[in-house]
Amino acid sequence: MACTTGCPSGQFNPAISSSFKSLNAPFSMQYATGSANGTYGTDTVSVAGLTVTDQIFGPVNSTMDLEFLQNGATSGQMGIMGLSYPVFPYSGGPLDVNFAFNLANRSIISEPIFSVFLNSQYQPGYSGEITFGGIDTSKYTGSLTYVPVSPLRMEGYNTPMYIYWAVDVLGAKNSKGYTASFSNATKFVVDTGNTLTYLPAAVSLDLVNSVVGSAVTVDTTNGVYMVPCSLASSNVTVSLLVASSLTNTNSPPVELTVGMPELVLRSYGDDTICAFGIAPLSGDIGDSSDLFIIGDPFLRSFYTVYDMGQNRIGFAAAKISTGIPG
């Protein structure tokens, strides 16, 4: 069945694919903003010469509030490629093994990794890069520092499971002297598909107020803090302290430090008032509670390597040129 509601301008049509097979298993996917519904199927999927046959995916029948898909004619975005850990869908469908894990499981790539370079928000067009099975050393400086992926507990399962590319975060700080420590390691999903970084509400507000030097205003419609665009030229930095070990509490954390050029978002068509890339969240993402998000405003400053074999994520300083507009 073709997409009928909230669809992009370009669509996958199962009827004209000789290799498509419907699995007759419906799904309903809820995102932080919006939802999608459809029926699982399989087909041959190729990306840059890497081919997976019988790749399970979700042809969508309808979406709600997924504007980037509905505006596909201008954005060029026609779907979502999820690269998280394989888990059984809650709808009772088949095991959803994504493209990257199939590449690794079937030895199509030599190393069970994929690497992501997002580039600066100021670089136009498709300026990022994803590498399956390798690392592009031209995209970062220094060396990669790895942190362990943190398994999560799910309702109905007795033992923790790898579900998201999640890490334990021990605290946050900025270069103006603000610090916040979490009483327990707090789980953050490393999410290249999120345009914001979400922190616990109280921490995010205090941190942003400290960065700006005064009380910030809040766009309650979009749930973001509003800051002067001139803040992008500031030398203030913000850091997240990520656990380097899940078992050794004495192991020093890895500091992920980001400057204002990538945290001040010019998304309002205004040269004076901008959104801040850190926003408040009370928890309850998907089916695991108390999860927060490290999104693009942080990840643009790093080259990241997702190691499916050793369940770890590598971070290195990305080679980006912000080119902040005057």
Partners of residue 255 on adjacent β-strands:
241
**pTM of the predicted structure, to 2 decimals:** 0.91
Give percent of the chain above pLDDT 70: 86
Spatial neighbors of 225 by CB under 8 A, at least 6 apart, are 204, 205, 208, 216, 217, 218, 219, 275, 276, 278, 279
DSSP letters for 261-277: HHHEE--SS-SSEEEES
Q: What confidence score (pLDDT) does residue 287 get?
A: 38
Q: What confidence score (pLDDT) does residue 286 get?
A: 39
Among the residue ranges 143-147, 151-155, 246-250, 296-300, the one predicted with the least confidence is 151-155
Q: Where are the beta strands (DSSP E) in the chain?
A: 21-30, 35-47, 50-57, 60-64, 113-117, 129-132, 140-148, 166-174, 179-190, 197-200, 217-219, 224-228, 237-242, 254-259, 264-265, 273-276, 278-281, 291-294, 302-307, 312-318
124 or 263: which carries more pLDDT confidence?
263
Can you say how many angstroms the Cα of residue 305 is from the centroid of all Cα atoms in its chain? 13
Q: What confidence score (pLDDT) does residue 3 get?
A: 66
Relative to beta strand 197-200, strand 217-219 is unpaired
**Is residue 13 within 8 Å of 27, Cβ to Cβ?**
no
209 pLDDT more than 80: yes
In sign, the C-alpha dihedral spanning 223, 227, 229, 232 is negative
295 or 220: which carries more pLDDT confidence?
295
Among the residue ranges 91-105, 164-178, 260-274, 275-289, the one predicted with the least confidence is 275-289
Give percent of the chain above pLDDT 90: 59
> Residue 126 — pLDDT band, cuts 50, 70, 90?
confident
Q: How far apart are CA 121 and CA 127, in angstroms?
A: 9
| Alpha-carbon separation of residue 316 from 131, 147, 295, 304 (angstroms) | 15, 12, 16, 7
Q: Give the single-character DSSP code of 55.
A: E
Across residues 8-33, what is the average pLDDT? Answer: 82
Mean residue pLDDT across the chain: 87
> Residue 95 — pLDDT band, cuts 50, 70, 90?
confident
